[in-house]
Amino acid sequence: MDQERQTYIYEVSGKIASQISSTLNHLNNEASILPAVLETSDASTFADCSSLFAGAVKEGGVLLVSDEGDVFNLDGSRATIGNRTLLMSVVFDKQSTFSYETDAQRTDYWVFCQPCDAHMVGGNKIVGVMMTYPAEEFSNEFSMQLFGQQGYALMCDDSGSIRLRPNEADWIGYNFYATILSQGATEDDVTVIQNAFATGEECDLPLTLNGSRWLIHCEGLTDKNLGNVSNLVVMIPIETITSQVSTGMRTAIYSALFVAGVAVLIILVLVFSMRRAAEVRKEEERAAKLEIALRTAEAKSDFLARMSHDIRTPLNAIIGLNYIAAQNEGDPAIIADCNKKLGTSADYLLQILNDVLDMSKIGSGKLDITHASFSMEDLIRNLSTMVGPRAEERGLNFAVTAPDDFGEDFVGDRLRITQILMNLLSNAVKFTPEGGDVSFSCKTRDEGGGRRTVEFAVSDTGIGMSDEYMERLFTPFEQEDAFTADRYGGSGLGLSIVNSLVTLMNGTVKVSSAQGKGSTFTVRLPLETSARSVHAGARGSAFPIEILSGKRVLLAEDNEINQQIVVTILGSMGMEVEAADNGRLALEKYLSVPAGTYDVILTDIRMPEMDGYEFASAIRASCQSDAATIPIAALSANAFEEDVAKSLSNGMNAHLRKPVEVEEMRKVLAQLLYEKGAAGFGARADRGEGDDR
């Protein structure tokens, strides 16, 4: 009978130990799903995570671990985990683990830790997810009571403190050693049990407790994750074993196995459900990314088709007009007409390219808004100068209403504001029939603190727009209909650029329109103000063009046709030009003649052997006495603002863009030569500062 008792109690303890390990492993598997749930979500706040993990665990809760070892509850408050080794295994070792813990309120619980890919939540880089599970609930997951509540299974730490115990076994107390000593055990009995725990060996000890005979089975479990809660005690009354050795023992074992099986089944179903949910979420994300990729490809295809059409239209005109001119070389009237139309077609082609470049920069987030002081009076005067002749040529009445003196300067991007208003005014002139009216007005409202809201309004009595079209007015490439596109031309990018630029300046643009009656665009921009510059009155005045006559220019340009164009243009201004095919040859020319031989240098950027940046830097570093003062201007098809900045940072004083604008070149060269003579030359010029360009 003693052998049977020992066999049965070994069997019971083995089942319980296996059940404990199995339950812990399944709970750990449940916790292992949580990182995938977080990683595949777009949760960025603790509130998002609280919703995400709601109902994710049957009992207990979820904690988040940051890369700095901080632990957060799902409401964003900090949680305390005393076991720093546990945290470090997640943060630094990226290992999953679990352990038994006691919090500040002496509440016992299991914590299951899982590393995850870094995920930002509430400004914290989350690198781990923890699932907590109350020790009391854990005890209920398997049968801790045996033989109809007559036998018990306990788990203790090395000091004898009972961590897992049946809720009904209050007589046992909270320390196993103290309990059995008070019930009749000896110090030698306690020593035997302590040795079993310390060595991890099994021992069976018959004890008389309160007059009842008990068989005590003790063993230290080998699972290191159990920490110091790894000692199992099984207590069974010897009388119960004797009376139920044939039936009771088996019933208890089968019951324990049944409960364990049900628990395992529930956990497996939960694990499968969570994994399936994570897989479904990943499939949805993949489908969404595929949809975005398809839309992007379709947009690119549509863009290329539109651009092919819009670019070929003026190119066809240029090629055709060139052919007509060649066939009528002896007819000055036809030649003049072709030249005029060639200029119009070239300007239209340049406008398309500029619009595409702007949309590209806006779409990539690389378009920067500058903040520099400028005169609103000069800006309005320049707009009137540019738009007035166009309106007059089309037989329109053009009116400007604005204060003669705003009293102070404004701080903003003068070039982009001009671009916005020129787009709106050009459309007004284009879409208004002969005899119609186009008006432009500007007024301001003081906001205090050195800020004003500037309101620009552009109105016309043109063809107007339908309500349906106004809903997609600012969408790239959109036009009212095919008839409008064919009759009036345009890429359909202008208003989209206007809306994007206004948005970048924190402003608003509103539209009112009626078909056949006209349209009004109202732009409001918040701008800072600044004290009026002492030179403000001179900003709109031109530099003396006569200063160009007789001046010598060193030109670095590798393209033969571009050389011919620039030499001809500069020659028409009375300037003498010496050209070189690249930066190296131009540098040799400069160094081979006395200082002062050349009055100004123009250089292309992309050239063989030595590019424009290297050429300009070499000039500034040379020993010629005028190396630091001779004006150098870039003349390049590199048209972005960063290209201008790079030219200036490499020792140049101005950046002119190709295609060459004759008046632009004339004004920049006049300014550079004027400033060189007037102030020993230290200023820099570009297309966005200091003149009326």
Per-residue pLDDT tens for 152-163? 777 887 788 777
Residue 686 lies in a domain: no
Distance, in Å, from the CA atom of 490 to the CA atom of 84, rounded to the nearest integer, reads 67
- The answer to whether 98 and 105 are in contact (CB under 8 A) is no
Cα–Cα distance measured from residue 614 to residue 128, given in angstroms and rounded to the nearest whole number:
52
Assess if residue 252 is contained within a domain: no
Show the tokens assigned to 96: 């999953």
The residues near 588 (Cβ < 8 Å, ≥ 6 apart) are: 580
Determine, yes or no, domain membership for 623.
yes
Residue 317 in this model has a pLDDT that exceeds 80 = no
Amino acid of residue 217: H
Domain membership flag for residue 460: yes
Amino acid at 482: A
* Residue 357 and residue 372 in one domain: no
- Any domain includes 19: no
Across 546-564, average pLDDT? 91
Measured distance CA(424)–CA(640) in Å, rounded: 23
Q: Pick the last residue of a domain from 187, 212, 245.
A: 245
Structural domain boundaries enclosing 472? 368-538
Q: Are residues 226 and 211 in the same domain?
A: yes
Which CATH number does the domain housing residue 473 bear? 3.30.565.10
Instruction: In whole angstroms, give the CA distance from residue 398 to residue 389.
Output: 9
User: Which of 197, 223, 245 is the endpoint of a domain?
Assistant: 245
Q: Is there a single domain that holds both residue 373 and residue 505?
A: yes
Task: For residues 119 and 354, give the distance between their C-alpha atoms in angstroms, rounded to a whole number.
Answer: 41
**CATH assignment of the domain containing 206:** 3.30.450.20
> What mean pLDDT comes out for the span 578-604?
94
H/E stretch holding 644 reads helix 641-649
41-55, 85-99, 353-367: which has the highest mean pLDDT?
41-55
Q: What is the pLDDT of residues 428-469, one digit of tens each?
A: 998 899 999 999 999 999 988 889 999 999 999 998 888 887
| CATH number reported for the structural domain that contains residue 614 in this entry | 3.40.50.2300
Domain end, chosen from 334, 361, 388, is at: 361
Together in a domain, 502 and 464: yes
Residues 560 and 658 in one domain: yes
Q: Is residue 284 part of a domain?
A: yes
Could you tell me where the beta strands, DSSP code E, fall in 189-277?
A: 202-209, 212-220, 231-237
- Which band of pLDDT confidence, cut at 50, 70 and 90, is reported for residue 681? very low
Say which residue, 305 or 417, is predicted with more confidence.
417
Tokens of 168: 């009904």
The b-or-e profile of 658-687 (16+ CB within 10 A means b, else e) is beebeeebbbbbbbbbbbbeeeebebbbbb
Question: In terms of domains, do 154 and 218 share one?
Answer: yes
Task: Name the one residue in this structure whose structure tokens are 């070929």.
Answer: 312
> 235 with 261, same domain?
no
* One domain for residues 373 and 357: no
| 462 lies in the same domain as 404 | yes
Q: Is pTM beyond 0.85 here? A: no
- pLDDT-derived band at 168, boundaries 50, 70, 90: low
Residue with token string 């038994």: 100
Is there a single domain that holds both residue 393 and residue 496? yes
Domain annotation covers residue 391: yes
The two three-digit tokens of residue 360, written as one number: 């590209």
In a 10 Å sphere around its CB, with 0-12 CB exposed, 13-18 middle and 19+ buried, how is residue 230 labelled?
Answer: buried
Q: Give 467: exposed, middle or buried? Use CB within 10 Å, 0-12, 13-18, 19+.
A: exposed
Cis peptide before 544 (omega within 30 of 0): no
426 and 511, same domain (yes or no): yes
Provide mean pLDDT across the span 547-552: 92
Q: Are residues 341 and 428 in the same domain?
A: no
Does residue 4 sit within a domain?
no
Give the CATH number for residue 286.
Answer: 1.10.287.130
Alpha carbon distance 131, 64 (integer Å): 9
In terms of Cα–Cα distance, which of 81, 70, 84 is closest to 107?
Answer: 81
What's the pLDDT at 5?
A: 59
Give Cα 341 to chain centroid, integer Å: 46
Say yes or no to pLDDT of 234 above 90.
no
Q: Is the pLDDT of residue 624 over 60?
A: yes
Looking at the 3D structure of the chain, how many domains does it have? 5
Query: Which DSSP string corresponds to 265-320?
Result: HHHHHHHHHHHHHHHHHHHHHHHHHHHHHHHHHHHHHHHHHHHHHHHHHHHHHHHH
Which percentage of the chain shows pLDDT scores above 90?
22
Mean pLDDT of 564-577: 92
